[in-house]
Amino acid sequence: MISRTLLWISLFSGAAFASEYTLITSSSSMKEKTTSHLGSIWKLFSHSYLLENNIKTSPYLCTGNNPDERFCCEKGKSIDAPLALAKSCGPFYEQTMKNISASDWNRFWKDKGVTYAWMTKEKMKDHREVPVSEILSVLDTMKSFPAHKELLHDLAGVWLRGTLQDSFPALGLAWFSKTWTWGSEKKKKFIGGVAGWSRSGESFWVKGQGTSRELILSVGKEISEKLPNSGLSGTKVKVNFFTRYPIASVTRLPSGEKVSSGNLSGSYRVHFSSGTTVDIQSSGELTLINQKITGVFDRDDYVARVLEREGTAHDGEASRALAILIRTYLVDHARTADGIFEIDDTSSLQRVSATPPTPLALKTAEFSAGLILEGKTNGHNGKIWKEMKAQASRGKNFLAILRSMAPKTKLSYLRDGRSSSCDRLANVENYLRRSVTKWHRELVRYPGYEEVSKVEVCKMNYPKPYSDLKANRIYLHFDDSEESRTTLAHEYLHLSFKNHPNTTDEQFIETLARKISGVKYE
């Protein structure tokens, strides 16, 4: 049972300083007695307000005249909302708040059931002393906001490129929070901390000696271990097992009783038509229908299963790097149906263990929960895995390994769930319809091609375009560039070959997309 945290004191040998800290969760008993300066937590509330009201903000231009711009950008450069939250750029939020009327702000929070006096626009200041119980209550309320997942996406930037990026290599994506620091710059005496949500969704608040950065560098690991992080879930993944190996029968172990169909729970032996067998285990996540086995898993359960088939969970930083490559490969190559990823278990894609992953494999996957590489990657194979292990043995952490293996990429947080709604792009749909007429003569030469007469093209800002095979929808950001036109052709081909194995052959799809769209390889 995880303790609900009274006071945790850490004395780390070799740390920059000994840190005494207080960690309070929404279920802690001591929260009623604790007060604290609000600090930069007001920026978290401001950012949530912007997202919930779909307010488009202007970037803040750094002029060099405001000393607080050191948390924002260099003179002459600008910063947008997500990066401002990650880096705790006060001038951006001060500029933005000026354009929000006090009546609109106060009405919004009142309608959400938040009526604390300090939450009015006029009183929300860094120096405001407020009850921690009320901060946690607001955080609990925010979990039900429609744009909360978008807020978590932006908070991931605190680790990736913001105030906690120094701690990221050691802690991974440990929680979602806004950092805060309060104190005297002149006397160099600070208290700092974080406030937000654990990965399992519980609201929490931390305060300790030093700036927030110093505190987390010193005791971040201990804080992470005290937070309730069980129950993490992401987009579901459906796996079609043994797609290239016809199944003759499935028997229950140890009885040898033949199983005809239904959910599998227990130990089984799969007998293939080739005469070989494999033993599997299931707790109900696997299903046998018509001699085909499928499984539905949480995304990081899937990552952990692939990790134990394609590599191991015992190689530290190399295993962490591989987990991110596996998740990236899933996003790049999976089909989408009924709002979940769908992918085959095959050596041409990723091999998936039909047995539950070990706790270490699951912990390794959850360390980078939701993180993918955005940009061009070469996937992973035995040679790449061997090189990653070699780099890890030389002391490189997972970030350095990924930079070496995929230098033209950057880490990005994957928004949970793929959209079921569609903001249709009529002009792109018209362009696609005209293009399909031109492409048809070429495409009918390929086995499995079926013309899709009605395709909806949906606007999105997601880092990876995708196609929903069941709804005949394509989700992408389209800017009429050569790359966008090729991407549109690529996703259309996934739809038009959806009933043929070619739909999972990314090299075939990409080569054909470039051919019909007239884009040549460099």
Residue 100 has pLDDT above 70, yes or no: yes
Contacting residues for 160 by C-beta, under 8 A, at least 6 apart: 86, 168, 411, 412, 413
- d(CA 214, CA 355) in angstroms, rounded, equals 42
Reported confidence tier of residue 60, pLDDT bands at 50, 70, 90: very high
3-class secondary structure, 157: helix
Residue 177 has pLDDT above 70, yes or no: yes
Q: Domain residue spans in the chain?
A: 8-55+100-226, 236-296, 298-413, 426-517
Q: Mean per-residue pLDDT for 362-367? A: 94
Q: Mean per-residue pLDDT for 195-214? A: 93
Which DSSP helix (H) or strand (E) runs through 46?
helix 41-52
- d(CA 220, CA 413) in angstroms, rounded, equals 20
Give residue 477's pLDDT: 83
Contacting residues for 1 by C-beta, under 8 A, at least 6 apart: none
Contacting residues for 176 by C-beta, under 8 A, at least 6 apart: 152, 155, 156, 158, 196, 197, 199
3-class secondary structure, 44: helix
Strand 236-240 versus strand 340-344 pairing type: parallel
Helix axis angle for 506-517 and 482-496, nearest 10°, is: 130
- d(CA 205, CA 40) in angstroms, rounded, equals 13
Identity of the residue numbered 397: N
Reported confidence tier of residue 4, pLDDT bands at 50, 70, 90: very low
- Both tokens of 2, joined, read 């995880």
Contacting residues for 47 by C-beta, under 8 A, at least 6 apart: 81, 85, 93, 151, 154
- Both tokens of 356, joined, read 């539950």
- d(CA 281, CA 307) in angstroms, rounded, equals 17
Mean pLDDT of the chain, nearest integer:
88
CATH fold group of domain 426-517? Arc Repressor Mutant, subunit A (1.10.10)
- Both tokens of 208, joined, read 């300790």
DSSP string, 349-377: SB---SSPPPHHHHHHHHHTTTEEEEE--
Phi, psi of 347 (to 5 degrees): -65, -20
pLDDT in tens, 19-35: 689 999 988 766 667 89
Identity of the residue numbered 38: L
pLDDT in tens, 382-430: 889 999 999 999 999 999 999 999 898 889 998 765 555 678 899 999 9
Closest alpha carbon to 332 in 209, 463, 478: 463
252 neighbors 266 (Cβ within 8 angstroms): yes
